[in-house]
Every structure is written in C-alpha cells, then in structure tokens.
Amino acid sequence: MARIDQYSRLKHHRISTSGQSFTIPTSEDHTDETWLATDLYIGEVGVNITDDKMFFRTNNGIVQVMTGTTSGGGTSSSTNIWQFSSPNIIIGSTYSASSVSPRSGVYTDLGTSTLRWKDLYLGGSLSGATIINTNGGLQLRESSDSILVTKGVASTNAPIEINTNSSNFNKDQVLWLNTRFGLASGSTNYIVTAAANTVNTDDNSYVFVAAGDNVSFNNGESYMTHLGRGFNRSVWDSNMHVVGGKSAVKGMGDDGSTQYEQSEWITTQSLLRTSNATTTDLVTIPWTSTASGGDVLQVKAYIIGTDIADATKVYSAEMMGCYSINGSLTITEIGTPILNAISSWPSGQPDLEMFADSNGFYLKATGLGATTIQWLCSYSYHKLINVIP
C-alpha cells in the first residue's frame, strides 16, 4: 500500500461534552493563552460530536446551524435554526422566520411533477384565516386534468370554473356536491348534482339534480333540472323541469294502497301551427302501463289559437276532462269534457277535441281551411295509478 504523507482531510473544531456550546474569545489570537477550548474564529465551524450539534461564528456571534439525531435518538432545542428530530426537520423557534422566499419572484417551484411533497398543512393566524394569494388565476389540478380554475386561466375541462370566460368543453368531470354514488355517461356535458343519492344520468346535457333519491334520467335528456325525489324512470321529454318545459310534483307518499306512489301533477306547454283544416296533437299523455291499466287521469288545459296573418282573429279556450283505463284495459270517459271558449273569428271556428284510447290521452286541435293558426297550450294533469282490484 502507498504511504500518504499529505494529511488533506478537513477536521472542524470539535468538543465532546454534552450540553456544551461554542464561545467567543476575548482576543482574536489563539496563541496568547487566553483562549478556551470552545472559542471560535469568525467563519470557523465547530461541532459538538456528542450532542450532534453544529455551530459557526459570524460577525453577529455564535450561530447554531442544526441538530441531528441518530436513528432512534431524539434531541430538541428552541435555539436551533434547523433541527432534525426523526423523522422530521423543523425550524427552531428562536430563528423561525416570518416567511421563506425564493431567490427572486416567480422563480422557484415547490417539488416537481415526479418529486412531489406529500401533505400540506395550513393554519390561520390570530388575525384571521389562512390565505392562498395568487398573482393571477388559480388552477388546481389532478394528475391529468383540472379540478378548479379561476379568472386568468385558459378554458379547461375543470368541473368548477370561477369567473372565467368559461370553456367550450363538454365536461367529462362531473361536479357532485355531497353526493353518494352518482354516475354520468354519454357525452356528460355540464352536470351538477347537489345532495344526491345514486343519481344516474345517461345521454346527458346541462343536467342539474338537487336532493335526488335514486334518480335516473335516460333517453337522451337535454337541458334538464330535477328537484326532489326521483323514481328510476326514463325521462319522457327533453328539457324537462326547466323554464318553458315541464314542471312536475311527483311521488306522493304511499299510504299502503299503492295507488298514490308515483302519482304526478305535471304542468307543461306545447306550441305548434296548423295549416288549413289539419288536426294536430296539442297534448299526448301515455298510460302508466298499457298492459295492466289501472290509471285515472284528469287534465286541464288553456289554449290560444291565432291567425298568424290577423291578430284580431283569436280563439281562446279552457278545457277539462277525466278518463280512466281499468285492469281489463277498458277506456272510460268520466262525464263529458267541459269546454269554455271565446272567439273573435267572424265565421267558422277552430275546433278542440279530448279523448283517450288504449295508448293514452289526447287533446287535438283542428284548424280552418286556407288559414294558418299559431297555437299555444298550457296544461296540467295528474294521475292515480294501480287502481286495480
């Protein structure tokens, strides 16, 4: 083996007495016989090899750099700048700073896409709550997509967008608030659900569901709002439960007779034109079951018909009727439909007809020859179901 005559390893000033710290000498000449074993020059590093503590001397005095602990050990000191207390590194209280800043503004990242910090714990101060202050927009992301974006951030697929120009994205990330289960398929679009239980939409669009209970909307629903309880049934009308569409009060409590469960009071509108003397459906309401029957249906409608070429020609009517289908699928008209009508047509009148068949209920409008009539019908109906011996 070769002999090494040069001793090039650096040994810092060391002490070994537990609890002992380094000191400032009375002079700057360590040969004048006034120095203690613990004295340090300015710029010199000293180590307490027993306590695992490191110190250095500056123009301001003795500074403790850190405390380390070996595996299973434990050391604490409020005078440490950095203190290693397995498995954590903490800042000593004496040197705790008001802030930790990067070298320059907008310069330093905290972690990388592959080397990430674990949990972030924040706490408010005596003067208020925790503040997260961004100089511009905020984007909260998961591994592949945004969760939250705010003003200044480009349009994204985030389910939560606050004060942005919004996005042209169909959201495949649905916003559920206090939800349990919740499933969206199809194009997904912009669904929001609040306080839901087992919401299940299908083809979707701009759906909003609040306080749902096993709600299920299918058949390619579009702009739709649902409030209250659902019954796992397919929606029968696009744009249901929105302004200008259907509004339904459904699901009266079952009193044990089974006749009230899922009874409905629904209000909606329909509009159309009839040319010449054609007959067209204004209202169509199917039976709950065309196989077992047992429905009793009451309908009330308000109808206006106007000659599109002459606003002085108006037909206005209120019409009410009641129909049933029994367990033998026999259709019954209860009494005679009541029609109250007024008209400004000088001769010849449009005509309204109510009736029911084995498929359901109908309200039809018949126009006049060589006349185009614009119709508007607002109607309500409700049903008793399962009226079967």
Tens of pLDDT, residues 108-134: 888 888 898 888 888 777 777 888 888
Residue 314 pLDDT more than 70?
yes
Tell me the CA distances in angstroms from 362 to 281, 289, 335, 355, 379, one per residue in order. Answer: 7, 16, 16, 6, 12
Quick one: average pLDDT of 44-65? Answer: 88
Q: CB 234: neighbour CB atoms within 10 A?
A: 11
User: Would you say 382 and 287 are in contact if contact means Cβ atoms under 8 Å apart?
Assistant: no
Residue 382 in domain: yes
Name the one residue in this structure whose structure tokens are 């000088």.
346
Output the average pLDDT for the chain: 75
For residues 188 and 207, give the distance between their C-alpha atoms in angstroms, rounded to a whole number: 9
Quick one: average pLDDT of 239-265? Answer: 52
For residue 377, which of 293, 273, 275 has the smallest C-alpha distance?
273
* pTM strictly above 0.85: no
Residue 317 in domain: yes
Residue 202 in domain: no
Name the one residue in this structure whose structure tokens are 């002079």.
27
pLDDT at residue 71 in the model: 41
Banded pLDDT at 298 (limits 50, 70, 90): very high
pLDDT at residue 174 in the model: 59
pLDDT at residue 195 in the model: 46
Q: Which of 91, 113, 128 is the last residue of a domain?
A: 91
Banded pLDDT at 233 (limits 50, 70, 90): very low
User: Would you say 191 and 208 are in contact if contact means Cβ atoms under 8 Å apart?
Assistant: yes
pLDDT at residue 243 in the model: 33
- CATH number (domain holding residue 387): 2.60.40
Tokens representing residue 308 in the block = 């599109």
Q: How far is CA 251 from the centre of its chain?
A: 26
Residue 308 in domain: yes
Quick one: average pLDDT of 3-25? Answer: 79
Residue 279 in domain: yes
Residue 188 in domain: no
User: Would you say 57 and 90 are in contact if contact means Cβ atoms under 8 Å apart?
Assistant: no
For residues 107 and 116, give the distance between their C-alpha atoms in angstroms, rounded to a whole number: 17
Residue 149 pLDDT more than 90?
no
Q: Which of 91, 122, 149 is the last residue of a domain?
A: 91
Max distance between CA atoms of the chain, in angstroms, equals: 132
More confidently predicted of 353 and 378: 353
Q: Which residues contact 120 (CB under 8 A, 6 or more apart)?
A: none
Peptide bond into 87 cis (omega under 30): yes
User: Would you say 240 and 233 are in contact if contact means Cβ atoms under 8 Å apart?
Assistant: no
pLDDT at residue 152 in the model: 61
Lowest mean pLDDT, pick from 103-112, 139-148, 349-358, 372-381? 139-148
Residue 313 in domain: yes
Give the chain's domain count. Answer: 2
In the three-class reduction of DSSP (H, G, I as helix; E, B as strand; rest coil), residue 100 is classed as: coil
Name the one residue in this structure whose structure tokens are 């998961």.
142
pLDDT at residue 316 in the model: 96
Tokens representing residue 212 in the block = 């749902």
pLDDT at residue 170 in the model: 59
Residue 207 in domain: no
Strands 200-201 and 216-217: parallel
Q: Which of 69, 91, 113 is the last residue of a domain?
A: 91
Banded pLDDT at 159 (limits 50, 70, 90): low
Q: Which residues contact 115 (CB under 8 A, 6 or more apart)?
A: none
pLDDT at residue 171 in the model: 62
Q: How far apart are the first and last CA of the chain?
A: 109
Alpha-carbon Rg of the chain, whole angstroms? 40
Quick one: average pLDDT of 68-78? Answer: 46
Domain range for 321 is: 249-389
